[in-house]
């Protein structure tokens, strides 16, 4: 099968996505939710508004044996970046499989210091929040294609 045929096959498969979104702005959550619904066929998007709720959600999922999210989207400023960075450190210091979940920082900040520090603390990716609806949709379509079509993760992980 050629590369283009493989890409078409991957793109035609339903995107079953389990995503944990840590977002303290209800307005941004509404936009994110709409973009997710347009970018995935079968999304399960769970929103929490702070790092403590996110850690509790991940712990409860493990305790109950329910699937973990495949990706965590983290608003860096919750409302401070120190809270976002602390969440990153907490997740990356958890035992597997929680520590293996990709954490994508989604922030209004394009400050190089925020970007470097986020990666230094374990972020898998850093995205700057778009400024208009079309850009949000493009951002989430790209996110969908990358994490669900291009990336290959081990099938044995409980977050699969």
Q: Element (H or E) spanning 72, and its range?
A: strand 71-74
What confidence score (pLDDT) does residue 149 get? 86
Please tell me the distance from the alpha carbon of residue 18 to that of residue 15, in angstroms, as a whole number: 10
What confidence score (pLDDT) does residue 155 get? 60
What confidence score (pLDDT) does residue 15 get? 60
Q: At what angle do helices 26-39 and 133-145 cross, to 10 degrees?
A: 50
What confidence score (pLDDT) does residue 154 get? 59
Domain 14-147 fold is Rossmann fold (3.40.50)
What confidence score (pLDDT) does residue 2 get? 43
What confidence score (pLDDT) does residue 42 get? 83
Q: What residues in the chain have per-residue pLDDT under 50?
A: 1-12, 156, 160
Prediction pTM value = 0.86
């Amino acid at each position: 099968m050629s590369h283009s045929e493989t890409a078409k096959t991957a793109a035609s498969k339903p995107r079953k996505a389990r995503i944990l979104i840590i977002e303290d702005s209800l307005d941004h959550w509404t936009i994110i939710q709409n973009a997710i619904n347009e970018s995935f066929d079968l999304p399960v998007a769970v929103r929490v508004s702070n790092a403590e709720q996110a850690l509790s959600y991940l712990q409860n999922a493990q305790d109950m044996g329910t699937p973990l999210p495949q990706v965590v989207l983290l608003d860096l400023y919750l409302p401070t970046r120190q809270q976002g960075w602390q969440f990153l450190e907490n997740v990356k210091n958890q035992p597997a499989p929680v520590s293996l979940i990709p954490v994508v920082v989604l922030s209004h900040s394009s400050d190089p210091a925020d970007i470097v520090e986020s990666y230094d603390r374990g972020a898998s990716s850093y995205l700057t929040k778009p400024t208009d609806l079309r850009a949000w949709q493009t951002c989430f379509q790209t996110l969908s294609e990358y994490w669900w079509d291009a990336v290959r993760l081990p099938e044995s992980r409980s977050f699969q």
